[in-house]
Amino acid sequence: MLSRLPHGNICAILIKVECLSRLNLRRNRLNNGRGILVLYNVAQLLKAPVGTSLEYDIHEEDVQLDEDLKVIGPIEGHVRLHHTNQGILTDGQVELTLELTCMRCLKEFEHPMHLDFSEVFYPTVDVTSGVPVPPMEEEVAFPIDERHQLDLTEAIRQNILVSLPMVSICQEDCAGLCPQCGKDLNSGPCACEPEADTRFSVLEQLLRNGSES
């Protein structure tokens, strides 16, 4: 869980930070009932020299990212938090499974995902003085809250959104629903007559008119 530390004493502090972050995690879950993905208290890391980093395993059950993204099972992964000049750079990866709806047959199906992410978080208050810090110019950065808590939830959610398939289908050759009776054609054909191709019938009509004149 540590790297590039100047000496052993900081280890103890960092272990304490981890306990603290777990405590905060639990408290937040109770507070809002929403599945917080990963919340870290980074006060000690922000006080440590630039270049210091911490590593954590991610294992979160019952995560709700938003109403349209249903996560099935746990989110597992790993993250590294680096203290940089700008704030905290997080990089890591997570594995998760989403429940998506097939655009052809409208059935729900499981879509496993692997995400690599790298996001900058900036402090909103100075960690030693508590004075508010002007917002960061950079657009692609996330705020660390006034209690020095870094929450990966939104960063992960945005990374999932950009990695979602353009067309979500349950299987490559999903047959979809019959446009007439609505039967799921994956479970066999229906009794409907195939629809006449209107483009073809127009052509046919023209040809017929042509031969009549």
- Strands 64-66 and 69-83, how do they pair? antiparallel
User: In this complex, which beta carbon is closest to Zn ion, that of residue 11 or of residue 190?
Assistant: 190
User: In this complex, which beta carbon is closest to Zn ion, that of residue 61 or of residue 193?
Assistant: 193
User: In this complex, which beta carbon is closest to Zn ion, that of residue 139 or of residue 172?
Assistant: 172
Burial classification of residue 38, based on how many CB atoms lie within 10 Å of its CB (0-12 exposed, 13-18 middle, 19 or more buried): buried
User: In this complex, which beta carbon is closest to Zn ion, that of residue 111 or of residue 183?
Assistant: 183
Smallest gap from Cβ 172 to Zn ion, in A, equals: 10
User: In this complex, which beta carbon is closest to Zn ion, that of residue 23 or of residue 190?
Assistant: 190
Burial classification of residue 4, based on how many CB atoms lie within 10 Å of its CB (0-12 exposed, 13-18 middle, 19 or more buried): exposed
Instruction: Please state the length of the chain.
Output: 213
User: What Rg, from alpha-carbon coordinates, does the chain have?
Assistant: 27
Structure tokens at 67: 């109403």
144 phi and psi angles, rounded to 5 deg: -95, 130
- Residue 63 near residue 37, CB atoms below 8 Å: yes
Binding site for Zn ion (CB under 5 A): 102, 104-105, 170, 174, 178, 180-181, 183, 190, 192
Smallest gap from Cβ 184 to Zn ion, in A, equals: 8
Smallest gap from Cβ 101 to Zn ion, in A, equals: 9
User: In this complex, which beta carbon is closest to Zn ion, that of residue 20 or of residue 178?
Assistant: 178
Q: For residues 208 and 201, what is the distance between their CA atoms, to the nearest angstrom?
A: 10
- Residue 75 near residue 57, CB atoms below 8 Å: no
Smallest gap from Cβ 175 to Zn ion, in A, equals: 8
17 phi and psi angles, rounded to 5 deg: -60, -40
Which residue's structure tokens are 């870290």? 40
Smallest gap from Cβ 173 to Zn ion, in A, equals: 9
Smallest gap from Cβ 183 to Zn ion, in A, equals: 5
